[in-house]
Structure 1
Amino acid sequence: MGREAAREAGQEMDRRENAELRAAFEALLDAGPEPPLPSVTDAAVAGGRRIRRRRTAVALAGALVVAVCGVTTAVNVADSRPDPVQQPLAPPTPAQEPTEVPTPVATPEPAPG
């Protein structure tokens, strides 16, 4: 009968624990109404708006960078081209060699005598 007594004691403990657990759950349920759950749809819609705004901002920033690069490139290319109004340079003329002018050379005069 030792076994029988142990089994009854275990069952009595389970009943007591069950009663305590039931009382704890009832206290939670009697505490007040449950808080309302937030709408999952509203959160998803708000998140979608944020994503669209972010994408729009990134696209505008990218377009601005491309426009600035295009303008910068156009200005640099325009500066490197020759001015179409400017007259073309005349072909170079060969340099004239200086003409040698004979310089009078003093000739010694014969000595008298």
Structure 2
Amino acid sequence: MDHGMGQGADRTDGGRYQGMDRRENAELYAAFEALLDAGPEPPLPSVTEAAVAGGRRIRRRRTAVALAGALVVAVCGVTTAVNVADSRPDPVQQPLAPPTPTQEPTEAPTPVATPEPAPG
């Protein structure tokens, strides 16, 4: 496959940096050397320590959410119990004797009129 390189292309620079002049190459080389000579690389952080810290964070969050959920359930239970207790009639306010009817029943039954058959 021809990646923009002709058959007679010069590959002394690896082919990719043909257009770069030597001054730019020298500047780039000097910049890389300065980075490498700046000092020792900082130590890489431990992946295990980061995972342990993340696990602690997740456990704390999970515990906090579970406690908040339990608190919500407890508040709902107390609220329901108070509302149910308030809806029951108070035993102190109930009368001790059964209620008496306000209208006294009549002694004799009232006669009911029966229709007579039509002559026919």
TM-score, normalization by structure 1: 0.59
5+ residue gaps, structure 1: none
Q: List aligned pairs for 1:54-65, cutoff 5 A.
A: 54-65=61-72
Higher relative contact order (CA 8 A, sep 6+): 2
5+ residue gaps, structure 2: none
Larger Rg: 1
Q: 1:16 to 1:3 in 2, by over 3 A?
A: farther
Q: 1:5 to 1:43 in 2, by over 3 A?
A: closer
Q: Which residue of 2 aligns with 1:2?
A: 6
Report the Cα offset of residue 88 of structure 1. 6.0
TM-score, normalization by structure 2: 0.56
Matches of 2:116 and 2:81, distance apart in 1: 79
Q: 1:32 to 1:60 in 2, by over 3 A?
A: same
- The CA deviation string for residues 45-79 of structure 1, in whole angstroms up to 9 with x for no partner, is 21221121011111101101111210221122123
Cα RMSD after superposing both structures: 10.6
Q: 1:66 to 1:103 in 2, by over 3 A?
A: closer
More helix by share: 1
